[in-house]
Amino acid sequence: MAKASAEVEQLHFLLIPLMSQSHIIPLTDFAKLLARQGPVVSIITTPLNAIRYKSIVDHASRSNLKIQLIPIEFPGKECGLPEGCENMDALPSPNLARHFFDACSLLQDPIEILAKKLVPKPSCIVSTSALPWTQSLAQNLSIPRYVFHTVSCFTLLCSDILSKTKVHEEVSSDSDTFFLPDTPHRIEFTKSQLPESMRKNSDDLKSVLEHMKQVESQARGYLINSFEELDPWYVEHHKKIYKNFWCIGPVCLSHREMEEKIGRGNKTAVDENYCLKWLDSKEPRSVIYTCFGSLCRLTPTQLKEIGRGLEASNRPFIWIIRDSDYSREVDKWLKEDKYEERIKGIVIKGWAPQVLILSHSAIGGFLTHCGWNSTMEGICAGVPMITWPMFAEQFYNEKFVVNVLRIGVRVGVKEGMKFGEEENKDYLVKGEKIAAAVNELMDDGEEGEAIRKTARELSEKAKRAIEEGGSSYVNTTLLIQDVLQQKGQLKVNCFSVGLEY
């Protein structure tokens, strides 16, 4: 790590994530990469979220990085949310999502009061695009705001093209296919695979998204959790449009030691030593890791099919069932069927140290919902993927993994899942399909080996990107220099009108 200048050490980055695992985790990871170059970094969070991420920040502090969590009370009750609902994965119903965003917007005033008391004063704000009010906050504090995107360059382009061309509106039904124009790859979608916001004609929803987009255009710069070598054509496309467009990832590689990987995200529900010992006993690249993120909702029927499929593949596996999906029905099935007694695997109920598990040499495949954080973690570990997108931008990520990068195979899902309709039989993926996809990915033939070779090469490129002199390291340096420049201009402007800075 290069020695930081005195000016850089006086910079203070204020990071504000949407209170959701998919936003807090990467922004906290980025805080570490940023702090390694010298600035002070403060992460705004809430009391319950602070408990989740305290171990990461404590470890960073012991490494002499200037990172702190600043908890602030979350006004959920004022917006009709249940007590203790401070993270989107705690929402009892997706219908409360709008209430959650309203509660987040009420944080603006208390954060502004807090920010004015911080020493050193904040030099800039880095926040996710889902928090448009942080642009007004930055303006009130007379500092620049940088948007941190939790999606890929490919997804950003897909969204832009569809918004401009409306090509998806030309198909007659949700199941008809259309091709994405103006890209170097042959990308085919159906309307039912697009994010729900693209499919709905709700004026209210459209106005909210248009407001986010409009506010986002006022930002000083854009930070992407990716690296330039991953999708160069898509990066270059955005650089032609946006002045300050920097890939600063993969941020998950900020965790170098086992302690960091274990404590990332939440309290693990498994003895990591037992898990690692079990993995140590397996052949290299033989185990399937199965996890569907923090927001995907799976019915007991679907979980049973996943269990059947993994067992039928006859491969060793680690399967994560999140707490909210682990119902009495699922528990009864596992016990009565004596599932765990006969399988070649481990079933973990709750949170697991995903980065730690994926980085083990025994992992040979990743059955994933295609959330961008999970996708990046798979890429960094050099692990090929079995793609099972469910909602939001996850079908974009599937196309990117399978069609562009060519490091995965599809489980075969044809349409996005609608919240509240998880019991719809059309969404059910049978165990036979799951087993077939696992065996296709793990095949020892030329196609399987080509996928594994590409995955390993991308992993090496990802690791080089965040090392000193790598593309993402350099881009983080450019961000720091831009903040210094903006701070210098502010100082000049204040002196010119006789104000104290």
pLDDT at 251: 97
Q: What whole-number distance in Å separates Cα of residue 62 and Cα of residue 53? A: 15
Query: From first to last of its 501 residues, what are the pLDDT tens digits of the chain?
Result: 566 788 999 999 999 999 999 999 999 999 999 999 999 999 999 999 999 888 888 888 888 999 999 999 999 999 999 999 999 888 888 788 889 999 999 999 999 999 999 999 999 999 998 999 999 999 999 999 999 999 999 999 999 999 899 999 999 898 999 999 999 999 999 999 998 877 665 555 566 677 788 889 899 999 999 999 998 999 999 999 988 999 999 999 998 776 666 655 555 556 778 899 999 999 999 999 999 987 888 999 999 999 999 999 999 999 999 888 888 999 999 999 999 998 999 999 988 889 999 999 999 999 999 999 999 999 999 999 999 999 889 999 999 999 999 999 999 999 888 776 777 777 899 999 999 999 999 998 899 999 999 999 999 999 999 999 999 999 999 999 999 999 887 654 544 434 443
7: left (phi over 0), alpha (psi -120 to 50) or beta: alpha
Structural tokens at position 335: 């016990």
Handedness of CA 25, 27, 31, 33 (dihedral sign): positive
Q: What angle do CA 193, 289, 330 make, to 5 degrees?
A: 80
Q: Which pTM value belongs to this model?
A: 0.92
Q: 149 and 225 in contact (C-beta within 8 Å)? A: yes
Report the candidate in 411, 448, 410 with the shortest Cα–Cα distance to residue 432.
411
Report the number of secondary-structure helices (H) and strands (E) in the chain: 21, 15
Concatenating the DSSP letter of every residue in 177-192 gives EEE-SS-SS--EEEGG
Residue labelled with tokens 């705001």: 145
DSSP assignment letter at 443: -
The enclosing H or E element of 43 equals: strand 40-45
The domains found in the chain, sorted by start residue, are: 7-72+107-150+220-248+467-496 (3.40.50.2000), 157-217 (no CATH), 268-462 (3.40.50.2000)
The bridge status of strand 221-224 relative to strand 245-247 is parallel
DSSP assignment letter at 44: E
Q: What whole-number distance in Å separates Cα of residue 369 and Cα of residue 388? A: 5
Neighbours of 413 (CB within 10 A): 20
Q: 117 and 50 in contact (C-beta within 8 Å)? A: no
Q: 227 and 465 in contact (C-beta within 8 Å)? A: yes
350: left (phi over 0), alpha (psi -120 to 50) or beta: left
